Amino acid sequence: MNTIEALHTRHSTPRLCEPGPDNEVFKNICKSAFSAADHGLLKPWRFLIIKDQARYRLGDLFLQATLDTEKEVSQEKQESVKKKALRAPIIIITIARHSIHPKIPELEQNFSAAAATQNMLLAAFAQGVGAMWRTGAMAYSRTVNEGLGLTKNEKIIGFLYLGTVQGSPKPLKENDIDDFFQEW
């Protein structure tokens, strides 16, 4: 798939299954993060790879985070919270790593980490790997952040779920360029 085709047709895949991408394909996805636009070339990111048994540990952490904030959590909800970490064979967690810089605010460093995540989404799609970027309460949970070992200057930008596409893709919506781009 060429670059323009990938850019014009990329879409997310909420339903993913085994197997995960093979090693070479996965490395291509990881490597794509590094060409993200990056003011000052700060590389304001790091990534955690969650696979195999680590997914179960992540599920336990999600559950702990939920129990820490909610008074009563039904058994059903507890199971569904844990299962979130099993939605895909591999999850890449993008973490923005902020440094203090006179010209480059934290916000821009988040933008770069987000751009890196989008690059990985595209690299996955272009290679036929299903992918979905998620955040939700778990991304902003103190319990999850601490459990993953984030420091005070770090923030979760997203969970990038990767795996084999399940089901058929939703039809792409056509956008009219003129609705969003106007000459000034």
Could you list the residues that contact ligand FMN (CB under 6 A)?
A: 11-12, 132-136, 158
Question: Closest separation between CB of residue 135 and ligand FMN, Å?
Answer: 4
Question: Closest separation between CB of residue 184 and ligand FMN, Å?
Answer: 26
Nearer to ligand FMN, 8 or 152 (CB): 8
**Cβ atoms of 16 and 165 closer than 8 Å:** yes
What type of residue sits at position 6? A
Concatenate the DSSP letters of all residues of 15-27 into one string: -EESPPPPHHHHH
Question: Closest separation between CB of residue 89 and ligand FMN, Å?
Answer: 18
User: Residue 175 and residue 57: Cα distance in Å, rounded?
Assistant: 41
**Cβ atoms of 163 and 129 closer than 8 Å:** yes
User: Residue 168 and residue 105: Cα distance in Å, rounded?
Assistant: 41
Question: Closest separation between CB of residue 160 and ligand FMN, Å?
Answer: 9
Nearer to ligand FMN, 105 or 136 (CB): 136
Nearer to ligand FMN, 52 or 69 (CB): 69
Question: Closest separation between CB of residue 25 and ligand FMN, Å?
Answer: 20
**Cβ atoms of 157 and 118 closer than 8 Å:** no
Nearer to ligand FMN, 7 or 22 (CB): 7
User: Residue 49 and residue 4: Cα distance in Å, rounded?
Assistant: 28
Nearer to ligand FMN, 100 or 177 (CB): 177
